[in-house]
Amino acid sequence: MIHNLKPYPVMKDSGVPWLGEMPAHWEVRRIKTLFREQDERNGNGSGILLSLTRVKGIVPQAEASNRIASTEDLSKYKICRPGDLVMNRMQAWSGMFALSTYEGVISPDYSIFCAIDRSDVKFFEHLFKTPIVVAQFAERSKGIGSGFNRLYTPDFGAVPVVVPPLPEQAAIVRFLDYMDRRLRRYIRAKQKLIKLMEEQKQAIIHRAVTRGLDPNVRLKPSGVEWLGEVPEHWEVRRLKTLCSMRSGDGITAMSIETAGDYPVYGGNGMRGYTSNYTHDGDFALIGRQGALCGNVHLAHGRFWASEHAVVASLRPGHVLDWFGSILMVMNLNQYSIAAAQPGLAVERVRNLLLPVPPAPEQALIAKHIEHETTDITQAVNRTNREIALFREYRTRLIADVVTGKLDVREVAASLPDEIVEPEALDEIEAVENGENVMDESNGASDIQEAEA
């Protein structure tokens, strides 16, 4: 099907340098001639509270996250209806737009637009997320930094965009919806494969760090429910006797670069680089907030740890790779405190009991885990790269179609009708796109140095 796509037979100059050429029968119009801002307030304080999310679009707030719904007065919230286009003014530079299929109320910080003439609003949602158009929104946004820039309605309305005839808008949406469903199914299948491989890896690690490598070793009750029996010569000790723990340090998104002298670690691994460092040595980092609670990563040398990571410094006489492995199987996320933004209950974690073999055995266990899981880790990495490539392909395909680089009219007309069923949110995609994850550029309360 994709191989049948061809460029439009007749193209013309759009007259806009950054738009380039477009199909000869398309128009260039400013957004203000296509959409009008709506600012109708709720007034009576009732209605379904809606949220704009990057992955799921407009959904009821209760479905957007596990956070507790706000109890504040909704009378000043904006009314949102099916067919409205919603823009997050603070994130327009990153493509935060969505077509609403719900009626309800939404934050007054968002802008709501309705089509002036007959339009397929879904086409414009796709168009407004393409890199070429998003770059214009970023250029016109005003503020003190990329994370705090706001796109005001007059600046949004002044952007020129390509506009195909209405029937062609519908054909493009039909084609993209069809392809998107297939790409998502492929990605979900790959994600399920990753989950199975991670479970296999977890089982290998769990067996090694709780029972050791000798299948004939004598066992004893550990006194810890999740552990059961452990090798007789092992100790069962509290975590705080093995390490000290403190929070990372605050860092803004503007201070993080794609290249630099020192890596920056957050709650889910490395995020970029900076020109300074806050730690020097070998440490275990534990995600401390939101969906990243309990994630464990190891860091070596000089680096910056953000406040979204708990930095665990292992005491002498123990092996860091073994320590990281035991932390991974302890499911530390279960010790987070349920709140609007869940946070790791560090004091509870410090007092957890865990099995501790002698240092030479720790080293052997770490080497065994590396040997047994290397192939699995490589397979997971390959599969993640495949997913990334398909997401890049999806982004490029949408951009080429909605900007008139590829003609889908004939293909769209031949597509079979499908029964569209609700799709589960891809968990990996949700984390990557920031759903239920606190923006690590924002500040968070520090954990005081906790020495045993």
Model confidence at 439, pLDDT cuts 50, 70, 90, reads very low
Alpha helices in 212-298 (DSSP H): none
N-terminal to C-terminal alpha carbon distance within the chain: 64
Q: How far apart are CA 251 and CA 266, in angstroms?
A: 10
Neighbours of 356 (CB within 10 A): 22
User: What does the pLDDT look like over 331-345, one tens digit per residue?
Assistant: 888 887 765 566 787
Percent pLDDT > 70 in the chain is 87
Q: How far apart are CA 217 and CA 316, in angstroms?
A: 26
Residue type, 152: Y
Polymer length in residues for the chain = 452
Give me the pLDDT at residue 448, please. 35
User: What does the pLDDT look like over 89-120, one tens digit per residue?
Assistant: 999 998 999 999 999 999 999 999 999 999 99
Domain covering 27-163, topology? Adenine-n6-DNA-methyltransferase TaqI; Chain A, domain 2 (3.90.220)
pLDDT at residue 370 is higher than 50 = yes
Give me the pLDDT at residue 343, please. 78
Chain centroid to Cα 188, Å, comes to 15
Q: How far is CA 410 from CA 9, 134, 394, in A?
A: 13, 28, 20
pLDDT at residue 2 is higher than 70 = no
Q: Extract long-range pairs of 368-373: CB within 8 Å, 24+ residues apart.
A: 368/208, 368/213, 369/204, 369/205, 369/208, 369/209, 369/321, 369/325, 370/321, 372/204, 372/208, 373/201, 373/204, 373/205
User: What does the pLDDT look like over 200-216, one tens digit per residue?
Assistant: 999 999 999 999 999 99
Where are any strands of DSSP class E within 66-218? 78-80, 85-88, 97-99, 104-106, 110-115, 160-163
DSSP string, 377-411: HHHHHHHHHHHHHHHHHHHHHHHHHHTTSSB-HHH
Model confidence at 54, pLDDT cuts 50, 70, 90, reads confident
Task: Check if 1-11+164-234+359-415 and 27-163 are the same fold.
Answer: no
Query: Collapsing DSSP states into helix, strand and coil, what is residue 146?
Result: helix
Give me the pLDDT at residue 395, please. 93
Find out whether 12 and 24 touch, Cβ atoms under 8 Å. yes
Residue type, 293: C
Q: How far apart are CA 156 and CA 3, in angstroms?
A: 35
Name the strand (E) or helix (H) holding 265. Answer: strand 262-266
Percent pLDDT > 90 in the chain is 67
Nearest to 353 by CA among 450, 449, 228: 228
In the chain, where the domains are located: 1-11+164-234+359-415, 27-163, 237-356+436-452
CATH architecture observed for domain 237-356+436-452? Alpha-Beta Complex (3.90)
pLDDT at residue 442 is higher than 50 = no
Q: How far apart are CA 4 and CA 406, in angstroms?
A: 10
CATH architecture observed for domain 1-11+164-234+359-415? Orthogonal Bundle (1.10)
User: What does the pLDDT look like over 394-411, one tens digit per residue?
Assistant: 999 999 999 999 999 999
